[in-house]
Amino acid sequence: MGEYRLERVGRLIQEKIGELIVGGKIKDPRVDSFLSVSRVQVSRDLSYADVYVSSYKSPEGLAKGVTGLASAAGFIQAQLASQMRLRQTPKLRFFEDFGLREGFELIKKIEELGAHEGN
């Protein structure tokens, strides 16, 4: 399958899962609206989609959220199947992505350095 199509499918999965999270459709209490899907990598044969989830909250909160999403994977996959026109909906695997939190920490450090230089 072409790279462009795989990217489009990945972006669509990312968008749809994000809508489910923000819309509160996933009833698992570990999944809160502060979770964000940072990227999705779809396998060439569309059998798997690796979903990377980030949050600016604590690493423990992110781990709980990823566990909640993994337990709701069947529900999420069924929702994707009903909304997407694919012969086969990829099996979802969820992973923690610390990029968002690291970005916030880096900005905080830069601001602190700027404040120290101003004195």
Q: How far apart are CA 9 and CA 6, in angstroms?
A: 5
Write the CATH number of the domain with boundaries 3-118. Answer: 3.30.300.20
Q: What pLDDT, on a 0 to 100 scale, did the predictor assign at position 39?
A: 93
Which of 74, 72, 63 has the alpha carbon at shortest distance from 35? 63
Q: Name the pLDDT band for 113 (thresholds 50, 70, 90).
A: confident
* pLDDT beyond 90 at 75: yes
Q: What pLDDT, on a 0 to 100 scale, did the predictor assign at position 58?
A: 82
Report yes or no: 30 and 57 within 8 Å, Cβ to Cβ: no
Write b or e for each residue in 65-100: b if 16 or more Cβ atoms lie within 10 A of its Cβ, otherwise e: bbebbbebeeebbebbeeeeeeeebbebebebbeeb
E strands, 48-98, are 48-54, 91-96
The proportion of the chain whose per-residue pLDDT surpasses 90, expressed as a percent, equals 56
What mean pLDDT do residues 69-86 have? 92
pTM higher than 0.75 for the full model?
Answer: yes
Structural domain boundaries of the chain?
3-118
